[in-house]
Every structure is written in structure tokens, then in C-alpha cells.
Amino acid sequence: MSEPIERRTFLKRAWQAGVALIAAAGAWTSWDILRSVPASGLGGVVKTVPEQEITEVPVYVRSAQAYLTRINGDIVGIWQKCPHLGCRVAWCESSREFECPCHGSTFNRAGEYRTGPAPRGMDRFTVVTGGEVVELDTGDVIEGAPRGTQTIDEPPAGPRCT
Ligand code: FES
């Protein structure tokens, strides 16, 4: 006499447990998809190298598509993207300038405009120091200095690379 009731109760509880499990899985999946995750890589904060490794010779950080160098003692992060039409600007050891291979714009070691069709100096990223390594916030682009800005007086040191 009691068997049908126990079976009904069992099925009811099993059904309730299944629904609760599915609801929990759905809630977990939704949370996992919607939670905010700090961005990393280009467009987010990129970890680079220890502060002491940054000198006056620009070092290229591929993951940030940027150069790190010291200008008057301060660390600056210079985006590789040419402010003319977006080509990758390269550092030239012989001229000690940044040179764009596309249309020939040149920039001094601080990324400031020197020659060519570029409308301004190279853009920069915010630099965060104080940790184990220097970080570049590649989501925070600082527009390059206008033409005519020259915070350093370093004429080309030798022949151009381009
Ligand atoms: Fe660099 Fe044109 S894209 S000078």
C-alpha cells in the first residue's frame, strides 16, 4: 500500500533535484560568461620587463606592439603604429630614430615627429611602474605630440635604415 506513495515521492524529489541541478548549472554558466575579466594582451594591460632593463635604447615589446625607452630618466611606452596610415614603425640602430617603412616618416627616440607625412608624433601608452615588471596599458592611448615638439635634442646619429 505504501509503495506507490514512496515511488511518487522519490520521483518528485528526483525531478526537483534535476531541476535544481540544471538551474545551478545555468546560473554558473551565465556568471562565467558575464563576469568581468581584466583584459590582457593588446587592448589591455600588458606586463613587460623589469624597470632596470629599460635604457635609452628602445626595447621592443611584441605583446604590446610597443617600444619602451627612457626619456630624460622617465620610462615611456611608444606604440609602434604610425600616426600617418598605421604601418609598423621600426627602430633604426644606425640613425637612432624611429623610421616608418611605408612613406618615410621619421621620429626621434621619444617618438616625436621629425620628417615625412605623419601628422604628429607617435602615440604612447600609459606606463605603470612600481611592480615586478613595467606594465603598459594598451587600452589607454595617448595621442602623439604635435609636430614641432622636441623634448630631446638628438639629431640622427647615422644612415637611415629605410
Ligand atoms: Fe608611416 Fe605613412 S604609414 S609614413
* Tens digit of each residue's pLDDT (9 = 90 or more) over 78-121: 999 999 999 999 999 999 999 999 999 999 999 999 999 999 99
Mean pLDDT of the chain: 90
pLDDT in tens, 111-160: 999 999 999 999 999 999 999 999 999 999 999 999 999 999 999 999 99
The span from the CA of 128 to the CA of 71, in Å, is: 15
pLDDT of residue 54: 96
Assign 33 a pLDDT band (cuts: 50, 70, 90). low
Task: Give the CB-side neighbour count of residue 141, counting CA atoms within 13 A.
Answer: 14
Residue nearest to atom 3 of ligand 1 (CA): 85
Q: 145 versus 7: which is more confidently predicted?
A: 145
pLDDT at 24 over 60: yes
Report yes or no: 109 and 96 within 8 Å, Cβ to Cβ.
yes
pTM: 0.76
What per-residue confidence (pLDDT) applies to 11? 82
Q: Does ligand 1 come within 6 angstroms of the Cβ of 90?
A: no
122 ligand 1 Cβ < 6 A:
no
The residue to mutate among 80, 98, 103, 106, having the most atoms of ligand 1 within 8 angstroms of its beta carbon, is 103
pLDDT at 7: 79
What is the predicted pLDDT for the residue at 18? 85
Q: Is 60 exceeded by the pLDDT of residue 6?
A: yes
Task: Name the β-bridge partners of 2.
Answer: none
Q: Which residues contact 152 (CB under 8 A, 6 or more apart)?
A: 71, 72, 108, 109, 110, 112
